[in-house]
Amino acid sequence: MRRLPVNLTSPLPVPFTSTPLGLQKDWIDYNGHLNMAYYNVLFDRGLDQAWDLLGIGATYAATRKLTTYTAEIHICYVRELHLGAQVTVTTQVLDADEKRLHVFQEINHVDGWLAATSESLTLHVDMAGPKVTPFPADIKANIDAMLAAHSQLPRPDRAGRTIGIKRRV
């Protein structure tokens, strides 16, 4: 069966921005702020919205038995979030090939300040294996369209960071 590409809106969102997301009470830790694990949940929920636009969300997994797995992720916690906060998650596609997506995200408080960043490498997976497999042509066209739109953006300052202790010489 031939699959038709998802009808991406024109112009594409640059970067993609999620709908506002709220924090749940049980996500707040004993320090009174968002537990570090739930920053990842927020990044994932924002990414789910971007994936839906690309045609690789939950419906894709259910109907085509193809999905994405995160291979690597690097989160920077910039500013604490507290119960009652509303945030959006931006997603910028930095690079892509036939099987992988390199994505940079930011969690921004609705008041405009940066709470956290995430850089990740995602693999396209055939769920029958599971094994890494190329994107179908219709999906690759969607990814290429978003990559082209996002190539207008500057590379984020926090992209490509490494973890380490800087030593004074």
User: Is residue 2 within 8 Å of residue 136, measured between CB atoms?
Assistant: no
> Rounded to the nearest 5°, which phi and psi values hold at 67?
-155, -175
Read off the pLDDT band of 10 (50, 70, 90): low
DSSP labels for 148-165? HHHTTSPPPTTTT-----
At 73-121, the pLDDT tens digits run: 999 999 999 999 999 999 999 999 999 999 999 999 999 999 999 999 9
This model's pTM is above 0.85: yes
Q: Distance from CA of residue 132 to its chain's centroid?
A: 19
pLDDT at residue 110 in the model: 97
